[in-house]
């Protein structure tokens, strides 16, 4: 091993998580650093007794002081050949998502769960969008851009590192063209045979909620079964964004869809998506406003729905936010349960990683209890298959969801 690389030594009895191949080393576990590594530098991680444990990227400004990338001392995990091989493996594992052509957008690299901490890569047809979220990936921006450009051969390689998480790494937000031609104002993608327009320059996340793809399909299947049984289906789609669940709903035969979002521009793009799929826009209603207020007004007006989708933004970014977030999740779920007819289905989600599956279920239970209605869980949901969760990194399971049925 090169003696020029900095060496980080753990405190006694702090190596257990590293031995279990968890990719994070927190600052509180560090006894000392020998050398003067800069942000993003590759460092060797050693036990208190001096035994080599792993290689990782150093981040002096983050509580996550090192993000581990390899537990093998030789070869040293650095350079384009190493990262090309790792990213190529990640991309090949998505072949089953993109095969056949009815889906042209998916996540290709999912950070720690694909062995590339801090790197997000999403494909939207012939445009690839990348996020560098950590000091380690930011220090290798040209390397990763070159590898992705060569490996994926897109028309456009675009950066969307304009996210708050970079501040914890001491980094500023960045966005813009990396390689190729500038992306058009709108990109058209396919998902399970349905078409969507995506704004990769300014849209949420990298432009679209790719992580909900499998759950949108589950909603479509549920509505299709109801249509076959000649069961009515009014769908309330809350936090609708650009109407992904609404498109799937009307494509499956929903009788009417009501979309609720604070952004009129997002709702307008959602109507464009309905028209793009030649779906009856006249069966869709848009309500611009705060979800909490709108749902109360709908309840007071006596509105009732056969299905309700709750797909809110992240309510809790850290553990400090969990109590406040729990109140918000309980409120919206309580209103949704009130709005459902007997036998109606609630598709409810949380994308807050700080809110565990167990806590989320307890929150929905509390909401049901306060309504006085009987509610069953009929299915559990998570992020789409192209957003895998490494068994060594349970924190990667940020999206959780329940399909609940209101019995009476």
Catalytic center residues: 351
Gap between the Cα atoms of 129 and 123, Å rounded: 6
Q: Distance from CA of residue 308 to its chain's centroid?
A: 21
**Residue 408's closest CA among 344, 353, 365?**
344
Q: How far apart, in Å, are the Cα atoms of 177 and each of 87, 158, 167, 198, 300? A: 21, 5, 21, 16, 48
Q: How far apart, in Å, are the Cα atoms of 213 and each of 190, 192, 219, 245, 269? A: 11, 8, 10, 9, 18
Packing angle, helices 213-228 and 244-251, rounded to 10: 30
| Residues paired with 180 in a beta bridge | 156
Q: Give the H/E segment covering residue 215.
A: helix 213-228
Buried b (16+ CB within 10 A) or exposed e, 23-32: bbbeeebbee
196 neighbors 253 (Cβ within 8 angstroms): no
**Residue 129's closest CA among 197, 181, 178?**
178
Gap between the Cα atoms of 89 and 38, Å rounded: 29
Q: Which residues contact 90 (CB under 8 A, 6 or more apart)?
A: 108, 109, 110, 114, 115, 116
- Residue 351, token pair as written in the block: 């994308």
Beta-sheet strand order (sheet of 7-10):
24-26, 64-70, 52-58, 42-46, 7-10, 30-34
Gap between the Cα atoms of 384 and 244, Å rounded: 14
| Residues paired with 194 in a beta bridge | 191
């Amino acid at each position: 091993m090169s003696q020029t690389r900095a060496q980080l030594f753990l405190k006694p009895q702090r190596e257990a998580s590293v031995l279990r191949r968890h990719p994070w080393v927190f600052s509180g576990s560090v006894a000392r650093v020998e050398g003067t590594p800069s942000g993003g530098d590759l460092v060797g991680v050693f036990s208190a007794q001096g035994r080599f444990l792993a290689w990782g990227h150093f981040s002096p400004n983050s509580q996550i002081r090192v993000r581990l990338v390899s537990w093998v001392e030789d070869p040293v995990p650095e350079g384009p050949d190493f990262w090309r091989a790792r990213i190529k493996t990640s991309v090949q594992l998505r072949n089953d998502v993109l095969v056949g052509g009815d889906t042209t957008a998916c996540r290709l690299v999912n950070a720690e769960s694909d062995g590339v901490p801090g790197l997000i890569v999403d494909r939207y047809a012939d445009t690839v969008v990348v996020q560098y979220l950590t000091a380690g990936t930011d220090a290798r921006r040209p390397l990763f851009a070159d590898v992705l450009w060569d490996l994926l051969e897109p028309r456009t390689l675009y950066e969307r590192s304009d996210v708050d998480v970079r501040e914890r790494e001491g980094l500023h937000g960045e966005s813009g063209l990396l390689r190729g031609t500038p992306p058009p104002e709108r990109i058209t993608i396919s998902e399970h045979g349905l078409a969507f327009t995506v704004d990769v320059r300014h849209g949420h996340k990298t432009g679209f909620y790719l992580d909900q793809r499998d759950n949108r399909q589950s909603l479509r299947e549920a509505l299709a079964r109801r249509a076959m049984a000649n069961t009515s289906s009014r769908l309330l789609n809350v936090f609708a964004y650009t109407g992904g669940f609404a498109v799937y709903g009307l494509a499956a035969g929903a009788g009417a869809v009501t979309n609720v979002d604070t952004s009129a521009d997002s709702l307008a793009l959602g109507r464009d998506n309905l028209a793009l799929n030649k779906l009856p826009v006249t069966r869709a209603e848009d309500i611009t406003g705060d979800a909490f207020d709108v749902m109360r007004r709908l309840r007071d007006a006596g509105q009732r729905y056969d299905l309700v989708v709750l797909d809110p933004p992240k309510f809790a970014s850290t553990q400090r936010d969990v109590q406040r977030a729990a109140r918000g999740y309980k409120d919206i779920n309580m209103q949704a349960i009130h709005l459902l007819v007997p036998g109606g289905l609630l598709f409810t989600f949380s994308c807050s990683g700080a809110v565990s599956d167990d806590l989320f279920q307890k929150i929905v239970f509390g909401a049901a209890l306060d309504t006085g209605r009987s509610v069953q869980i009929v299915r559990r949901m998570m992020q789409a298959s192209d957003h895998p969760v490494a068994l060594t990194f349970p924190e990667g399971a940020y999206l959780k969801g329940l399909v609940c049925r209101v019995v009476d």
